[in-house]
């Protein structure tokens, strides 16, 4: 991740140290140190993902445009609360997108969600109720974005799944609960008989009929994606307390075409009547298509039956298309639950931890000790970003990513005037946030010579985030006010 927890708190400590030194500036012992600290311009990071290119291709004549309203780097504070609450400048609320409180033995709770200044955090704990499935349940967190997305769109999250036998999820769901695309579904912990599922990230989607409830999802073995050397994603990302993060993304290209990315690498494509999957352990691509008998999908050893059309060392859309042309069975919605239209509806972005019924029925559910263990019961999301392809041309950048210098700001801490330099010529919205994510001030300014003087006289002492937002780029710059 671009700004991990340790970096955040080191940065925060230095900022607070500067404030403390300022208060004692009259002491000769601190004068040289403070003079050096204040006079050196600070170049601060923008969004945590700024230096991570969008792995998907926007297409000929197109560039990626960040959807600011739906994207978040979670570099602010939101304290857990027992009330239904919007947070992150109203980008999220701390519950599911309707009144349902969760699948299986899940009880989503408002106060199991927080933001710690660097990450969106989800806790889990024991719920003594036995109303669901006749066993004690799981309290967990769930959030829903307030901005919906629709194809063509790329959605990617940087996530550290819980090291526990619960599902850590980032997904898209239509408001009527009939179309779902899973960006990541991972049962991270290897305890309680979950060793098999812990080694995979599930890359899938669902087509539903609500009444009577009917669910289709691809069930081929390749939808369970594993990485060489990872036997438990929870343990791998927990990393003995020095948490790591995996970037998982979906490019929803059209109603019948999805691409899945893990750590910037294309690993699975679902297109019309065929699948293409990169098998990391075999280091090869497999092109397959499903079969059906008497109107029902065929299964072999518990998995959806597929015919392997081809293998290859690199991805080829042409090969996938050839496999699709050989099949008469759709992979997006083979039973036409969506009336043959594929996935076409706007969708909410949902992030949560949950206890699913099929895992509980098989005994794969956490113990009280595990639910009380912060090394196991917490999922974290470092950032989530959303891009849409728009008309435009980028010269000399193979990743369709606009190259922008990060502005320099000084002095830190600031008294009444903050100076910005190296800002690309453009018209920007200039937005000031406090650490709770609340908008303090917003204005618009045309930058011509790359310089700008930002008045901070009205701000009380503390740490703030300044965002510069243009049609081409967004910069997020942290600064400290001290007098």
The CATH number linked to 168 is 2.60.120.200
Full DSSP string of 271-319: ETTEEEEEETTTTEEEEEEE-EETTEE-EETTEE-EEEEEEESS--HHH
Domain count, the chain: 3
Residue-level pLDDT at 144:
98
> Is residue 395 included in any domain, yes or no?
no
Neighbours of 152 (CB within 10 A): 18
- What is d(CA 142, CA 159) in angstroms, rounded to the nearest whole number? 14
Give start and end residues of each alpha helix (H) in 338-391. 357-361, 368-371
Pair (95, 203) in one structural domain = yes
Pair (373, 461) in one structural domain = no
Which residues fall within 8 angstroms of residue 233, CB to CB, at 6 or more apart? 161, 186, 188, 198, 199, 200, 201, 246
Pair (267, 300) in one structural domain = no
Say if CB 335 and CB 207 are below 8 A apart.
yes
Residue-level pLDDT at 1:
42
pLDDT in tens, the chain (483 residues): 444 444 444 444 444 444 444 333 333 333 333 333 333 333 334 589 988 999 999 988 899 999 999 999 999 999 999 999 999 999 999 999 999 999 999 999 999 999 999 999 999 999 999 999 999 999 999 999 999 999 999 999 999 999 999 999 999 999 999 999 999 999 999 999 999 999 999 999 999 999 999 999 999 999 999 999 999 999 999 999 999 999 999 999 999 999 999 999 999 999 999 999 999 999 999 999 999 999 999 999 999 999 999 999 999 999 999 999 999 999 999 999 999 999 999 999 999 999 999 999 999 999 999 999 999 999 999 999 999 999 986 544 333 334 445 687 888 788 889 988 878 777 888 999 887 788 999 988 887 777 888 999 999 998 888 988 887 778 888 888 988
Pair (138, 30) in one structural domain = no
Mark 444-460 as b/e (b = at least 16 C-beta within 10 Å). eeebeeeebebebeebe
DSSP bridge partners of 208: 215
Residue-level pLDDT at 33:
36
> Is residue 54 included in any domain, yes or no?
no
Q: At what angle do helices 5-23 and 31-39 cross, to 10 degrees?
A: 130
> Is residue 55 included in any domain, yes or no?
no
Pair (321, 339) in one structural domain = no
Q: Is 180 a catalytic residue?
A: yes
Domain ranges, residue 129: 62-272+334-390
Pair (415, 287) in one structural domain = no
Pair (86, 159) in one structural domain = yes
> Is residue 107 included in any domain, yes or no?
yes
> Out of 15, 50, 156, 180, which one is annotated catalytic?
180
Give start and end residues of each alpha helix (H) in 329-476. 357-361, 368-371
> Is residue 266 included in any domain, yes or no?
yes
Pair (100, 193) in one structural domain = yes
> Is residue 53 included in any domain, yes or no?
no
- For 206, phi then psi, to 5°, come to -130, 140
Helix, strand, or coil here: 442?
strand
459, 461, 464, 456: which is closest to 483 by C-alpha?
461
Pair (84, 149) in one structural domain = yes
Q: Is 259 a catalytic residue?
A: no
> Is residue 51 included in any domain, yes or no?
no
> Out of 65, 185, 330, 354, which one is annotated catalytic?
185
> Is residue 399 included in any domain, yes or no?
no
Residue-level pLDDT at 297:
98
Pair (290, 338) in one structural domain = no
Pair (239, 211) in one structural domain = yes
DSSP bridge partners of 399: none
Pair (231, 307) in one structural domain = no
């Amino acid at each position: 991740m671009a700004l991990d927890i340790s970096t955040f708190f080191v940065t925060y400590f230095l900022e607070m140290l500067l404030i403390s030194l300022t208060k004692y500036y009259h002491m000769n012992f601190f004068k040289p140190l403070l003079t050096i600290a204040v006079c050196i311009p600070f170049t601060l990071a923008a969004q945590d993902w700024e230096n991570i290119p969008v792995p998907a291709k926007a297409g000929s004549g197109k560039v990626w445009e960040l959807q600011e309203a739906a994207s978040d780097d979670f570099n602010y504070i939101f304290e857990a609360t027992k009330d239904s609450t919007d947070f992150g400048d109203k980008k999220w609320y701390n519950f599911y997108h309707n009144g349902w409180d969760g699948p299986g033995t899940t009880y989503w709770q408002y106060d199991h969600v927080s933001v710690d200044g660097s990450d969106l955090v989800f806790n889990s704990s024991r719920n003594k109720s036995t109303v669901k499935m006749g066993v004690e349940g799981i309290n967990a967190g769930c959030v829903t974005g307030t901005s919906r997305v629709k194809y063509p769109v790329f959605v990617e999250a940087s996530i550290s799944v819980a090291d526990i036998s619960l599902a850590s999820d980032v997904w898209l769901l239509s408001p009527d609960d009939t179309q779902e695309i899973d960006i990541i579904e991972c049962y991270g912990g290897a305890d309680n008989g979950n060793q098999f599922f812990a080694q995979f990230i599930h890359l899938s989607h669902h087509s539903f009929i609500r009444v009577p409830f009917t669910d289709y999802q691809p069930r081929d073995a390749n939808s369970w994606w594993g990485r060489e050397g990872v036997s438990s994603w929870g343990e791998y990302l927990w990393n003995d307390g020095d948490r790591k993060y995996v970037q998982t993304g979906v490019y929803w290209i059209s109603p019948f075409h999805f691409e899945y990315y893990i750590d910037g690498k294309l690993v699975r494509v679902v297109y019309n009547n065929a699948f293409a999957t990169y098998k990391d352990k075999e280091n090869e691509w497999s092109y397959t298509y499903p079969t059906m008998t008497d109107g029902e999908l065929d299964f072999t050893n518990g998995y959806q039956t597929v015919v392997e059309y081809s293998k290859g060392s690199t991805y080829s859309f042409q090969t996938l298309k050839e496999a699709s042309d050989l099949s008469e069975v759709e992979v997006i919605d083979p039973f036409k639950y969506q009336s043959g239209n594929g996935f076409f509806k706007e969708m909410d972005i949902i992030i949560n931890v949950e206890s699913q019924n099929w895992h509980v029925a098989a005994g794969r559910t956490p113990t009280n000790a595990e639910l009380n263990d912060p090394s196991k019961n917490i999922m974290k999301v470092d950032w989530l970003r959303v891009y849409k392809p728009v008309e435009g041309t980028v010269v000399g950048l193979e990743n369709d990513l606009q190259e922008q210098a990060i502005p320099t700001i000084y002095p830190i801490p600031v008294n009444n005037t903050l100076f910005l330099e190296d800002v690309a010529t453009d018209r920007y919205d200039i937005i000031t946030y406090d650490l709770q994510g609340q908008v303090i001030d917003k204005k618009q300014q045309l930058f011509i010579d790359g310089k700008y003087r930002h008045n901070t006289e009205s701000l009380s002492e503390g740490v703030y985030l300044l965002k510069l937002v243009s049609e081409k780029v967004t910069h997020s710059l942290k600064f400290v006010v001290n007098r």
